Amino acid sequence: MLAAGRAGRSVLLVAATGAGKTLAGFLPTLVDLLEPYEGLHTLYISPLKALAVDVQRNLLTPIEEMGLPIRVETRTGDTPADRKARQRANPPHILLTTPESLSLLLTHPDSAQLFAGLKTVVVDEIHAFATQKRGDLLALGLSRLEALAPGLRRVGLSATVADPDSYRAWLAPHGDMDAVDLVTGDPGAEPDIAIMLPDDDRIPWSGHSGRWATHHVMRQIERHRTSLVFCNTRGLCELMFQDLWTVNDNGLPIGIHHGSLSVEARRKVEQAMADGKLRALVCTSSLDLGIDWGDVDLVMQMGAPKGSSRLLQRIGRANHRLDEPSEAILVPGNRFEYLEARAALDAVEEGALDPDIFRPGALDVLAQHVMAVACAGPFDEAELLAEIAAAAPYAGLSAELFGNILSFIESGGYALRAYDKFKRLRRNADGKWQVTNPRFIQQHRENAGIIVEAPALNVRFRNGRKLGTVEEYFASTLSVGDTFHFAGLTLEVERIDTPELIVKATTRPARIPTYVGLRMAMTTHLADRVRHFLAEPETWRRFPDDVREWLEVQQRRSLLPQPDQLLVETFPHEGRHYLVLYSFEGWNAHQSLGMLITRRMESAGLKPLGFVSNDYALAVYGLEEIADPAALLSPDILEEEFVDWVQGSNLLKRAFREVAIIGGLVERQQLGKRKSGRQVTFSTDLIYDVLRRYEPDHLLLRAAWEDARARLTDVARLGGLVERAASTLVHAKLDRVSPLAVPSLVLIGRESVPAGLADDDLLIEAESLARIAMAE
Amino acid sequence: MVRFSFCGHDLIALPQGALFWPARRALLVADLHLEKASWFARGGQMLPPYDSIATLADLTALAASVGPAEIWCLGDSFHDTGGCERLPERACELLAALTHAHRWTWITGNHDPVVAAIVGGEAVAEAELDGLILRHEADPGDPRPELSGHFHPKLRIHRRGRLVSRRCFVMSETKLILPAFGALTGGLEAHHPEILRAVGPGAEALVPLSDRLLRFPVAA
């Protein structure tokens, strides 16, 4: 690191958690700053505010011990306005910030002076966001910094990744990976990973959370100093927390942490953790990144791990000393999850990681960045295009598309030039673009940002204490007096005062909140490994008896597909005809496919009744036998029905809402801003409908569509599956349910969405239920 | 289309979110909110400038299918006073054709107290038609049967993991509130206290489908 620093070279440092990466990233800066220096020398960018604050703490200690005259400050959304103003006038030597705060800094006219002497940018946890929209924003920010401070050194810090070269290219100007040296850290001791099995070795047929293991998990918590218990969803996290407390006979301090909890609640539990006051923390991916807590000595993963890279990073949360192995336990919820856990464990042992998918930069993010640049002062169109194209995600951006972006920012970019008198940008006498009114600058600063929350209600006590948020959909299922588990508490609804849900504590039985939206899908890498297990009986020796037996009976009664085959089973069961498709493409893709197939069954007169899916398989059922499954999967399903379905689906409406906010078309609806009786707001769903009807080629619709396609890789996986189906489908026609089908059919807590039930039918059903319930 | 009875009159709630009164061959719509998008555009939110065209195209299609003699707009026809002058050309044409072909009355609302003469039709604050009062916002103190708009009622039903949200009518013994007809108009839930206060006790939400009328009791 020091050599690269002395040579002024940019560098990507890839090392395991706990290897002291962050400090290594700062070393050349500290050496430089032994000499007196005026102004901002190093900018550190982290995906998390909390991490920036933590790094400041960790950096200050060596600086103070060495008595260095170095000023280090943080700048995030939480920094008070007066300090922010002072930082611009009198910058510290090292500024710690986030991609969003950097983007906001760049909106100020004095940012050119502020960054003119900048020597180094350090990007931490680069693996966590380079491939996402926040990565796009940062890539654009780096290009801007390069223009303000040419020759700037870039330092990327990353956890172990499958393909470091793609990160080098991402970090480098013009995607030139040779401009970035690669430094690889000591891999450290091999982790010690086990798969937890029930006492009788019998893994349950069904379930997906590992709830069977509550007692075992409790025993592990008792045996260790501090444990992290990772759950795959916020709902499961609440459930596991409740379960653990019912068997927590010693009253050990166990906390809960997930992304829907209020900031206050999260900070409190993080502090308790840092102080060593907790024995266990039940958490979600909200803890995948973040502060190092030295005392964690066990990581448990409830349910399937979903990916080897993620698993490795989670395991890295334990034991931040390189010379000792991290200890981890995987808790599979059912037999398929056992196979997945086994596959993940093998992958970690082999050091095989999930490849990261880099996609072209998002257009909504680009629009936000261009507006940020415009806020700082007039710009030349060609110069800015060249600067943007130097950011790897936007390499090859055409002048035409850039022109569309400008026209979008200027007045919405519509074919109907209705808003020429309301323009936000115009060319000045020098031919440069500039903002027409200072209030648009203010508006941009208030609305900029990449994270768009789902519509949600604030959950709080009557005394004002905020607990967090629940999604609108879940809230709409609640009435006054209903009870639910949240933030580790059992709550009763006292009042629903949109957008607030006023609650009080209760001891009555309660439900677990549901969170709509996408679930984390198993990576294709793990899916491939599981497919290989099925096809290779010689690998089964390592499996527990009942898993092996399960596969052996399947082999006798039905088929086990080769890795490149798509197994489809059909069989009658309890008066219905089933079709089960083992595609291993993840729950999201299976849900979409279920919708499409049942729709096709409807038109083919097969009388579908519903479907149910998990990460591994999709089962559809109806009243008629499905003699020809291939016909239901013909590739034209993607051309017509699929496009139709996606465009009409909430999927694309959600994506549209996000791009409309990020792109700056509409302002964020501030949660807590009260809706009055008369509507002064508008819904992005309605905007979507109008736009689709009158200008289907609009930039934002294109952005929403690209988002849905690129980010929801499951949709692409679905496409691949259907394309392969014609040549790879093997049909096993059975007289009864097969062993492999059981885990999919006995899913608990999954609602099967009945086919053929359009919104009208749901309303009719609701009305008739209401009538029956209300009948005298 | 299913008729229902309101204070002795046979009425038809149309799935498009409008009311048809066969005895008078009258079509009633509420809350068109024309030029809502351009109102937001003035403030920097450049919503698609097609909302008036969409709303008027829908109304034109509806008028063509039910063949009314008269059309009544129950207020908030324009999102704001200046909306009229911002109408794009295509929308002006659609509107002129509509006001020309039918007896057309604007009931004025809180968003558009003055409807300019240039778009045609007659503007009144309130009207009484065969014993029914037509006004923009329901008056809880008036005991006479009344048709109004203003609240944009909608019904949200969650079933089988899906949330269905639909514009709806809200009816009590003497009050009937129409849903908003405008393409960009959001909604207020039918059981919102303000709506219940306006219509009084015993309210129902009516959701017309193509072949039937669903009725849901609404209470706080």
A753 chain-B contacts, CB cut-off 8 A:
160-162
pLDDT bin (cut points 50, 70, 90) of residue A675 is very low
What is the per-residue pLDDT for A755? 36
Q: Which among B53, B164, B185 has CB closest to A759? A: B164
Taking the domains of chain A in order of start, what are their residue ranges? 2-184, 192-350, 456-505, 561-776
Residue A523 predicted with pLDDT over 60: yes
Does the distance separating the beta carbons of A760 and B209 come in below 8 Å? Answer: yes
Does the distance separating the beta carbons of B50 and A690 come in below 8 Å? Answer: yes
Q: Which of A596, A682, A683 is nearest to A640 (CA)?
A: A596
Q: How far is A59 from chain B (nearest CA, A)?
A: 43
A490 pairs with which residues across the strands?
Answer: A485
Residue A115 predicted with pLDDT over 70: yes
**Three-state DSSP class for residue A472:** helix
B159 chain-A contacts, CB cut-off 8 A:
762, 765-766
Q: Which among A411, A412, A766 has CB closest to B159? A: A766
Q: Which of A95-109, A276-290, A714-728, B6-20 has the lowest mean pLDDT?
A: A714-728
B162 chain-A contacts, CB cut-off 8 A:
753, 759, 762
Q: Which of A12, A107, A104, A100 is nearest to A48 (CA)?
A: A100
Q: How far is A422 from chain B (nearest CA, A)?
A: 6
Eight-class DSSP state of A642: I
Tell me whether B116 touches chain A (CB under 8 Å): no
Q: Which among B36, B86, B217 has CB closest to A770? A: B217
What is the per-residue pLDDT for A749? 36
B160 chain-A contacts, CB cut-off 8 A:
751, 753-754, 757, 762
Kindly tell me the burial class for residue A643, based on how many C-beta atoms sit within 10 Å of its own C-beta (0-12, 13-18, 19 or more). Answer: exposed
Q: Give me the mean pLDDT over the A311-336 stretch.
A: 82
Residue A673 predicted with pLDDT over 60: no
Tell me whether B202 touches chain A (CB under 8 Å): no
What is the per-residue pLDDT for A715? 63
Does the distance separating the beta carbons of A698 and B48 come in below 8 Å? Answer: yes
Q: How far is B183 from chain A (nearest CA, A)?
A: 7
* Residue that wins the pLDDT comparison between B124 and A638: B124
Q: How far is B45 from chain A (nearest CA, A)?
A: 5
Nearest CA in chain A to B196: A677
What is the per-residue pLDDT for B139? 95
CATH of domain A2-184: 3.40.50.300
Residue B201 predicted with pLDDT over 50: yes
Residue A419 predicted with pLDDT over 90: yes
pLDDT in tens, B170-193: 999 999 999 999 999 988 889 899
Structurally, what CATH architecture does the domain formed by A192-350 represent? 3-Layer(aba) Sandwich (3.40)
Q: How far is A487 from chain B (nearest CA, A)?
A: 23
pLDDT in tens, A141-150: 999 999 999 9
Spatial separation of the C-alpha atoms in residues A705 and A710, rounded to whole Å: 8
Residues 6+ apart with CB under 8 A from A307: A344, A354, A522, A523, A525, A526
pLDDT in tens, A434-459: 999 999 999 999 999 998 877 788 99
Contact A661, A447 (CB under 8 A): yes
Does the distance separating the beta carbons of A424 and B192 come in below 8 Å? Answer: no
Residue A713 predicted with pLDDT over 60: no
A766 chain-B contacts, CB cut-off 8 A:
157, 159, 164, 216
What is the per-residue pLDDT for A679? 36
Residue B5 predicted with pLDDT over 90: yes
Across chain B, mean pLDDT equals 91
**Three-state DSSP class for residue B215:** strand
Residue B160 predicted with pLDDT over 80: no
Tell me whether B220 touches chain A (CB under 8 Å): no
A422 chain-B contacts, CB cut-off 8 A:
38, 41-42, 44, 46
Q: How far is A665 from chain B (nearest CA, A)?
A: 5
Residue A756 predicted with pLDDT over 50: no
The type of residue at B179 is P
A681 chain-B contacts, CB cut-off 8 A:
186
Tell me whether B157 touches chain A (CB under 8 Å): yes
Nearest CA in chain B to A680: B186
Contact A124, A65 (CB under 8 A): no
Give chain B's domain count: 1
pLDDT in tens, A1-59: 778 777 889 999 998 765 578 888 898 999 899 888 999 999 999 988 777 777 888 88
A–B CB contacts, 8 A cutoff, strictly below: 131
Spatial separation of the C-alpha atoms in residues A344 and A278, rounded to whole Å: 29
Spatial separation of the C-alpha atoms in residues A336 and A531, rounded to whole Å: 11
Tell me whether B150 touches chain A (CB under 8 Å): yes
Eight-class DSSP state of A253: -
pLDDT in tens, B82-103: 888 899 999 999 999 999 999 9
Does the distance separating the beta carbons of A443 and B46 come in below 8 Å? Answer: no
Spatial separation of the C-alpha atoms in residues A76 and A142, rounded to whole Å: 17
Q: Which of A536-550, A665-679, A683-697 has the lowest mean pLDDT?
A: A665-679
Contact B62, B19 (CB under 8 A): no
Nearest CA in chain A to B205: A767
Contact A422, B42 (CB under 8 A): yes
Which of B47, B197, B207 to mutate to test binding with chain A, by most A CBs within 10 Å of its CB?
B47
Q: Sheet of B70-73: strands edge to edge?
A: B3-6, B9-14, B18-21, B26-29, B70-73, B103-107, B122-124
Instruction: Name the phi and psi angles at A183, rounded to 5.
Output: -120, 125
Nearest CA in chain B to A472: B163
Q: Give me the mean pLDDT over the A350-355 stretch.
A: 89
The type of residue at A508 is R
Q: Which of A87-96, A305-314, A765-774 has the lowest mean pLDDT?
A: A765-774
What is the per-residue pLDDT for A541? 94
Nearest CA in chain A to B160: A753
A439 chain-B contacts, CB cut-off 8 A:
44
Residue entry with tokens 């944009």: B152
B53 chain-A contacts, CB cut-off 8 A:
694
Does the distance separating the beta carbons of A667 and B183 come in below 8 Å? Answer: no
Q: Which among B152, B156, B216 has CB closest to A679? A: B152
Does the distance separating the beta carbons of A693 and B44 come in below 8 Å? Answer: no
Does the distance separating the beta carbons of B217 and A690 come in below 8 Å? Answer: no
Q: Domain range spanning residue B191? A: 3-217
Across chain A, mean pLDDT equals 87
What percent of chain A is predicted at pLDDT more than 90? 52
Residue A409 predicted with pLDDT over 90: yes
pLDDT in tens, A170-195: 999 999 999 999 999 877 778 899 99
What is the per-residue pLDDT for A758? 59
Tell me whether B211 touches chain A (CB under 8 Å): no
| Structural element, H or E, at residue A708 | helix A699-711
Nearest CA in chain B to A437: B44
Q: Which of A215-224, A303-312, A603-612 has the lowest mean pLDDT?
A: A603-612
Residue B115 predicted with pLDDT over 70: no
For chain A, the distance separating the N- and C-terminal CA atoms, rounded to the nearest angstrom, is 80
For chain B, the distance separating the N- and C-terminal CA atoms, rounded to the nearest angstrom, is 29
**Which tokens belong to A350?**
């082999």
Residue A346 predicted with pLDDT over 80: yes
What is the per-residue pLDDT for A7? 83
Alpha helices (H) along B14-151:
36-42, 51-66, 83-86, 89-101
Residue A524 predicted with pLDDT over 50: yes
Interface of B with A in 39-58 (CB under 8 A): 40-42, 44-51, 53-54
Residue A513 predicted with pLDDT over 60: yes
The type of residue at A85 is A
Residue A214 predicted with pLDDT over 50: yes
Contact A444, A668 (CB under 8 A): no
B48 chain-A contacts, CB cut-off 8 A:
412, 414, 687, 690-691, 694-695, 698
CATH code for the domain of B190 = 3.60.21
Does the distance separating the beta carbons of B194 and A679 come in below 8 Å? Answer: no
Give the ipTM of the model, two decimals please.
Answer: 0.92
Tell how strand A192-195 and strand A327-331 pair up: parallel
Contact A368, A446 (CB under 8 A): no
Is cis: bond before A499, omega within 30 of 0?
A: yes
**Which tokens belong to B150?**
């203003």
**Which tokens belong to A506?**
């209760």
Which of A686, A692, A769 to mutate to test binding with chain B, by most B CBs within 10 Å of its CB?
A686
Residues 6+ apart with CB under 8 A from A94: A26, A29, A33, A40, A41, A42, A43, A44, A59, A70, A71, A72, A73
Eight-class DSSP state of A678: S
Spatial separation of the C-alpha atoms in residues A32 and A559, rounded to whole Å: 66
Residue A612 predicted with pLDDT over 70: yes
A693 chain-B contacts, CB cut-off 8 A:
50, 54
pLDDT in tens, A528-581: 999 999 999 999 999 999 899 999 999 999 999 999 899 999 999 878 899 999
Which of B34, B85, B89, B160 to mutate to test binding with chain A, by most A CBs within 10 Å of its CB?
B160
Contact A405, A367 (CB under 8 A): yes
Kindly tell me the burial class for residue A326, based on how many C-beta atoms sit within 10 Å of its own C-beta (0-12, 13-18, 19 or more). Answer: buried
pLDDT bin (cut points 50, 70, 90) of residue A203 is confident
Tell me whether B113 touches chain A (CB under 8 Å): no
